[in-house]
Structure 1
Amino acid sequence: MTARIGVITFPGSLDDRDAQRAIRVAGGEPVALWHGSHDLEGVDALVLPGGFSYGDYLRAGAIAALAPIMSEVKDAAASGMPVLGICNGFQMLVEAHLLPGGLIRNAHQQFIRRDQRLRVENASTAWTSDFADGQEIVIPLKNADGGYVAAESELDRLEGEGLVAFRYLGVNPNGSLRDIAGLTNERGNVVGLMPHPEHAVEEGFGPNTPAAMRSGIDGLPFFTSAIASVVAAAA
């Protein structure tokens, strides 16, 4: 089977087409979905892409979390469907209470763009199974409101239950507590992170590597992992 992965476009989304391209490169079928619809069109997985939905008014992701389609996203997540939130999509997942904590303005109060080193902390989710625990990867990062915050008790719970999916290495670019770059839910089907894996799926367009400039494709396993998860569930 070919996994059909929906990418939801919100007003102000910037990276929806990039996410669709990444799904296609990984061997899946991207399906464009609209924020104002209640129809997920029978997709097998969902991506909430990056951008500045609704201009980041109120809080980044706060208005998008109230969009009509988010009712279906919540139901899909509860049913076990793989759901990935990238950057603004991660902010939406937090605002929709599909993941805990909050994301605030970067500690240095500036927009940041860099190729960011990460460590995979949980390779057992629907979106990370093609990685290894502890694997170091490089993924593009671009955000202004990427500082992850939560109460100390919640941070302890996330650490203790293995729900930190990714951690910043080398440089903490935005002041995220405990260097948290991404999270998963308890079931492992919902993952959110601030860096952008969809920008590291094709040689010539990704981060630099020791082998060659712009040759990094560390984002591809996110999408191949989800496809494998969907295929396995259908078998």
Structure 2
Amino acid sequence: MTRIGVITFPGSLDDRDAQRAIQIAGAEPVALWHGSHDLEGVDALVLPGGFSYGDYLRAGAIAALAPIMSEVKDAAAKGMPILGICNGFQMLVEAHLLPGGLIRNAHQQFIRRDQRLRVENADTAWTSDLSVGQEIVIPLKNADGGYIASESELDRLEGEGLVAFRYVGVNPNGSLRDIAGIANERGNVVGLMPHPEHAVEPGFGPDTSAAMRSGVDGLSFFSSAIAAVVAQAA
């Protein structure tokens, strides 16, 4: 069975939710600790949402220097699927595993909403079960979710197809070019601000036209990772 690690940092809030999402998708969740140097032989990694180290200095900046991040960087270089969700996305950019940065929302307010996204890249380890142009609804909750990068970097991301998700309908935090998530060149590392782990189980996800709280669009992230691991092992 595919084993996907979820790293808990001081201030992580959504680590248990990510573990449950992994289990529902059909993989084995493995709890990992920020102070460890042992990835325990996992096949993929999730850096979860929350407020690691109280968001002191900058959101994700201290977590990017945690002991386990040395192993995360090595795993990323070897092609392991790694997903950063919200605070985890902030960690990935602070650790320079993904380009750009994330700053305070343009309206200076914490936001919580079910957010529509458009899939821009379906060739990553975390998006292969989605389709380019597909619109999905994923819960969003952040205060420092504004994605920024230089114009030249933004042009590169666009030109190389590294924008993974884009906000649709409303840009909730002022992210440049409506960017909600990006991938690295290899496609194994993905970061996004919305929370797919909160849209994996009927009765607990976003509302849909079929029924209240029935949205499970987030499940495809985890099933994609499982497929990527299986393909690597074949």
TM-score range relative to shorter protein: over 0.9
Which structure 2 residue ranges, 5 or more long, are not aligned? none
Provide, for residues 113-138 of structure 1, a one-character-per-residue CA deviation record: whole Å limited to 9, x for no partner.
00000000000000000000110000
Q: Which residue of 1 aligns with 2:41?
A: 42
Q: Secondary structure at the match of 2:99?
A: coil
Q: Which residue of 1 aligns with 2:92?
A: 93
Q: Secondary structure at the match of 1:76?
A: helix
Corresponding pairs, count: 233
Deviation of residue 46 (structure 1)?
Answer: 0.2
User: Identity percentage over the alignment?
Assistant: 90
Q: Which residue of 2 aligns with 1:82?
A: 81
Provide, for residues 181-214 of structure 1, a one-character-per-residue CA deviation record: whole Å limited to 9, x for no partner.
0000000000000000000000000000000000
Deviation of residue 219 (structure 1)?
Answer: 0.1
Deviation of residue 102 (structure 1)?
Answer: 0.3
Taking the TM superposition and a 5 Å limit, the aligned residue runs for 1:46-195 are 46-195=45-194
Distance in structure 1 (CA, Å) of the matches to 2:26 and 2:86? 23
Distance in structure 2 (CA, Å) of the matches to 1:122 and 1:217? 19
Distance in structure 2 (CA, Å) of the matches to 1:154 and 1:185? 13
Provide, for residues 71-123 of structure 1, a one-character-per-residue CA deviation record: whole Å limited to 9, x for no partner.
00000000000000000000000000000000000000000000000000000
Distance in structure 1 (CA, Å) of the matches to 2:158 and 2:232? 28
Distance in structure 2 (CA, Å) of the matches to 1:38 and 1:162? 33
Deviation of residue 232 (structure 1)?
Answer: 1.1
Distance in structure 2 (CA, Å) of the matches to 1:178 and 1:133? 17
**What TM-score, normalized by structure 1, do the two folds share?**
0.99
Provide, for residues 125-175 of structure 1, a one-character-per-residue CA deviation record: whole Å limited to 9, x for no partner.
000000001100000000000000000000000000000000000000000
Distance in structure 2 (CA, Å) of the matches to 1:78 and 1:185? 11
Q: Secondary structure at the match of 2:138?
A: strand
**What TM-score, normalized by structure 2, do the two folds share?**
0.99
RMSD between superposed Cα atoms in Å: 0.3
Q: Secondary structure at the match of 1:165?
A: strand
Distance in structure 2 (CA, Å) of the matches to 1:176 and 1:154? 14
Distance in structure 2 (CA, Å) of the matches to 1:18 and 1:54? 19
Deviation of residue 19 (structure 1)?
Answer: 0.1
Runs of 4 or more above 4 Å deviation: none
